[in-house]
Structure 1
Amino acid sequence: MNSSKMRLSLISIILAAGSLVGCGSIEQAAQDDCTSIGWEIGSKGYQDCYKARLYERKLDYSLPPGDKPSPSLI
Structure 2
Amino acid sequence: MNSTKLHILSIVMVLSVLGLTGCGSIESAAQDDCTSIGWQIGSKGYQDCYKARLYERKLDYSLPPGDKPYPSLL
How many residue pairs get aligned? The number is 54
Partner of 2:33: 33
What TM-score, normalized to structure 1? 0.64
Percent identity (aligned): 91
SS in 1 for 2:50: helix
Gap regions ≥5 residues in structure 2 = 1-17
Task: Report the alpha carbon displacement of residue 73 of structure 1 after superposing the two structures with TM.
Answer: 3.1
1:71: how far off? Answer: 2.1
Question: Quick one: which amino acid aligns to residue 44 of structure 1?
Answer: K
Compute the displacement of 1:72 (Å): 2.3
Question: Post-superposition shift, 1:70?
Answer: 1.7
More helix by share: 2
Deviations 1:10-69 (A, max 9, x none): xxxxxxxxxx8xx65211110000000100001111011000000000101111111001
